[in-house]
Amino acid sequence: MAGGFAPKKGKRRLTAEMNVVPYIDVMLVLLVIFMVTAPLMTQGIDVELPQASAETLSADDEPLTLFVDARGDYFLDAGGDPKKALADQIVIDRVGAILRNKPETMVLIRADKAVKYDRVANGMSLLQAAGAAKIGFVTDAPSAPRPSTATKRDRG
């Protein structure tokens, strides 16, 4: 065959490549879904926190939080049903078990601003009885700056 194209002799070689583009698309969609839903999945008891200006604490691990609602009931964010009020001894037992396994766990109290102080103090003593050496308090930042308490005479 002069001037014509002759087909190549031999077998065509098949390539076995996997197309990963659809899998990447699915992974990106799942990533977006988790990024949107993760902030909405916080659990806990609704409490109205008192306001105070303080520096925020940073911790590598999740802290253990004792919630005190407006009625003075105790709730923990670890172990058991987080919506069920706990008796004093159960708080001591659960917090003690967590601190024995992980002694560096940060312990916080989230108390409603309407709760009586004696319930918060009792919660602190329960946490100390369970082995918590340091206890932090969770508050909201104040919405407006506090007025100055200095008088004209103090200024000058």
pTM of the model: 0.54
Segments forming the whole domain that contains residue 125: 64-137
For residue 124, being part of any structural domain is answered with yes
Please tell me the predicted confidence (pLDDT) of residue 156: 46
Please tell me the predicted confidence (pLDDT) of residue 30: 94
Query: Helix, strand, or coil here: 13?
Result: coil
For residue 40, being part of any structural domain is answered with no
| CATH code of the domain covering residue 127 | 3.30.420.270
Contact present, 44 and 77 (Cβ < 8 Å) = yes
For residue 108, being part of any structural domain is answered with yes
Structure token digits, residue 150? 């200095």
Alpha-carbon 53 to chain mean position:
21
For residue 102, being part of any structural domain is answered with yes
For residue 149, being part of any structural domain is answered with no
- What is the amino acid identity at position 78? A
Please tell me the predicted confidence (pLDDT) of residue 60: 58
**pLDDT-flagged residues of the chain (< 70):** 1-10, 41-61, 79-83, 144-156
For residue 123, being part of any structural domain is answered with yes
For residue 126, being part of any structural domain is answered with yes
Query: Per the structure, how many domains does the chain have?
Result: 1
Give, for 111, the enclosing helix (H) or strand (E).
strand 107-111
